[in-house]
Chains A and B, each alone.
Chain A
């Protein structure tokens, strides 16, 4: 694994990751109790679209192509305005850090997190497969660590969920690593997660931004 992949998947990276629950806060409020099932659902749906967007960004930038079409494909496959907004905020947070660390290819302002991650991957020679694993792993840990703040839970149990889900990262990697064109980005939405993201954005009682 590329060392920058380790850096990017470390929660201590100062990119506002601690403000996120991966949609778990509203999901628990809506009655979810199968968190491992929720992790798998995300990897198969919204996180898959995100990972695919990142690798297609990487491919586009490597070919020297602009990323407008990638952005449009991502936006069309991310129907929740709240989720698009969250992704843009996180992209901006990552950009402000990464642009001080590496010479990133120029991007339009306010790009979503997977597009910025794709740009970081280009700048750091991060392989597409590592990029996918970073995104999948970060999603698992975001949800699992938020669970510790939201429910009485033994941290070893939450870590056990992540360990049990690790094989799903292989599936994710094999399904999206080779993608190169915007039209290949899977439209694997999850209406339940998207609906909850909208609800959460409108609540005034929340620990997590999203």
Chain B
């Protein structure tokens, strides 16, 4: 779906990384770049809300040539830029792909909230990142990214003892909410866990190149149940998400 005029295997895999601010999206991108730059040609698009801080941080990490990291301004609408009107991001991705023969483009969302997910018109596959510091309940609370992103990362497991979170329980809750879709506990300080992340990324690149990767849209908020009001969908309140 991202570009109907091209066969999926002729361009880079577009991998979206979203999730709330501070959960470790930029760090995860730097980990992927630092570890895979020798085997894959990688570019990065960031969507900071107010600055080009993320792009500068990733450039400063020296994991990629700086021209391969571009920042997109979202006019304070980070969720619009990855979902309803992906034009600015798509142009940035296409420019990177045109300038460098890339295997992988990583798109970092502006990370404004728990419900934002990427449009399948922008990315082929997406990771949703939450962290243990956000509390053990986050996985249970769900939302489209937590429930249906291609991969859910429960990040910063090294902090679990300090914030009183049981990682196994948090991952079990997430796995239940995700009906079996993959969940990865991750800490950038744990090489074994990082290796699992890298294997997942390699697998996505390979299946994209083979033309077998089909973008799965996490979609909007699914109808859900509130004990006091019964089933409803958030479409009942369109104004709450407008701006």
A residues with CB within 8 A of B: 12, 14-21, 89, 92-93, 96-97, 146, 149, 204-209
Q: A19-B81, A204-B56, A207-B50 are in contact. Are A97 and B87 (CB under 8 A)?
A: yes
Can you identify 7 A-B contacts, CB atoms within 8 angstroms?
A16-B85, A17-B85, A18-B74, A18-B75, A18-B77, A19-B73, A207-B73
Docked pose: A178 CA to B75 CA in angstroms: 35
Whether, in the assembled complex, B228 has its beta carbon less than 8 Å from a beta carbon of chain A, the answer is no
How many residue pairs link A and B with beta carbons under 8 A? The number is 58
Residue B80 lies at the interface, judged by CB distance under 8 Å to chain A: yes
Residues of B with Cβ closer than 8 Å to A? 49-52, 56, 72-77, 80-81, 84-88, 90-91
Residue of A at shortest CB range from B56?
Answer: A204
CB distance from B194 to the nearest CB of A (A): 30
Report whether A92 and B75 are in contact in the complex, using a CB–CB cutoff of 8 Å: no
Contacts of A93 in B (CB 8 A): 87-88, 91
**From residue A178, how far is it (CB to closest CB) to chain B in Å?**
33
B89 nearest CB neighbor, chain A only? A16
Chain A residues contacting B76 (CB-CB under 8 Å) are 149, 207-208
Asked whether A209 and B88 contact (CB < 8 A) given A18-B77, A21-B75, A146-B75, the answer is yes
Q: A209 and B75: CB pair below 8 A?
A: yes
List chain B residues, Cβ under 8 A from A17. Answer: 85
Q: Are A19 and B91 in contact (CB under 8 A)?
A: no
Give the one of B56, B80, B88 with max A CB within 10 A: B88
Q: Which of A15, A96, A206 contacts B50 (CB 8 A)?
A: A206
- Interchain CA distance A206-B75 in the complex, whole Å: 8
On whether the beta carbons of A14 and B75 are closer than 8 Å, the reply is: no
Smallest CB gap from B85: residue in A: A14
Measured between beta carbons, the chain B residues less than 8 angstroms from A204 are 51-52, 56
With A93-B91, A204-B56, A207-B50 as given contacts, are A15 and B85 in contact (CB-CB < 8 Å)? yes
Greatest chain A CB density within 10 A among B77, B80, B85, B91 is at B85
Chain A residues positioned under 8 Å from B90 (CB to CB): 96
B4 — nearest CB in chain A belongs to which residue?
A100
Complex-state Cα separation, A149 to B78, whole angstroms? 13
A12 to B75, CA, bound (A): 14
Residue in B50, B75, B81 with the greatest tally of chain A CB atoms within 10 Å: B75
A149-B76, A207-B73, A209-B73 known; A16-B49 Cβ under 8 A: no
A76–B50 Cα gap in the complex (Å)?
32
Report the 7 A-B pairs with minimum CB-CB distance, sorted nearest first: A14-B85, A16-B87, A209-B73, A149-B76, A16-B88, A18-B75, A18-B77
**A14→B56 CA distance, assembly (Å):** 28
With A206-B73, A207-B73, A207-B75 as contacts: A18 and B80 at CB distance below 8 Å: yes
Find out whether the CB atom of B75 lies under 8 angstroms from the CB atom of A20.
Answer: yes
The distance in angstroms between the C-alpha atoms of A208 and B52, with both chains bound, is 11
Q: How far is the CB of A11 from chain B (nearest CB, A)?
A: 9
Chain A residues whose CB sits within 8 angstroms of the CB of B86 once the complex forms: 14
The residues of A that contact B50 with a CB separation of less than 8 Å are 205-207
Q: Tell me how far the C-beta of A82 lies from the nearest C-beta in chain B, rounded to whole angstroms.
A: 13
